[in-house]
Amino acid sequence: MSKKTKWFMIGLVVINIVLLFSTFYSFEKNTEKPSPLLGTYQSKDTNPKGMVMLSFSDDKAFEEYSNSKLIDSGTFIKEKKNVYILQSDLKNEMVVLFKEKNDQFYFYSDDKQVYLLEKISDTPTGNLNNHYSP
């Protein structure tokens, strides 16, 4: 094998290694982890007003149920770590996940009630394709 061919082969190997590492780096950087909010949450303690349930999908949609009746739907955005904003025609509210466990948060409803919601499923429950329209 000639000297030129040898350097050419070494160059190809180096270029392939660089391309391989850049592909893995780019894939890792662009892969978004699913939101810890994803899933279905239900009020831990039922109070006189009834049960509240919130469901969050991976397409950034949410649905709010009261006593199994759909009362609101919209989108959610991540504000900061463990802080999300629910947005709809009816509300612009904040949800803060507990730092110790990402499966509970307090929800302040429109009727000024405070509910402790606990994750009951990692899968969104409800009909997240038919959004509520007031």
Domain range spanning residue 23? Answer: 1-31
d(CA 94, CA 106): 10
In a domain, 127, yes or no: no
Domain match, 24 and 71 both = no
pLDDT band at 132 (very low <50, low <70, confident <90, very high): very low
Domain match, 46 and 24 both = no
Domain match, 14 and 50 both = no
In a domain, 132, yes or no: no
Domain match, 57 and 73 both = yes
Domain match, 26 and 51 both = no
d(CA 130, CA 110): 21
pLDDT, position 31: 59
pLDDT, position 108: 77
User: Domain containing 93 — which CATH number?
Assistant: 2.40.128.370
Domain match, 83 and 25 both = no
41-84 pLDDT tens trace: 998 775 656 788 899 998 889 999 888 889 899 999 888 888 88
In a domain, 129, yes or no: no
Within a 13 Å sphere around the CA of 52, how many CA atoms are in the beta-carbon half?
Answer: 23
90-114 pLDDT tens trace: 877 777 777 667 788 888 777 777 7
Beta 52-56 vs 39-43: how paired, if at all? antiparallel
Domain match, 104 and 43 both = yes
Q: Does this model's pTM top 0.85?
A: no
Domain match, 56 and 108 both = yes
Domain match, 49 and 74 both = yes
5-42 pLDDT tens trace: 888 888 888 887 887 777 776 665 555 666 778 899 99
Beta bridge partners of 106: 96, 116
pLDDT, position 13: 84
Encoding tokens for residue 26?
């780019």
The domain tally of the chain equals: 2
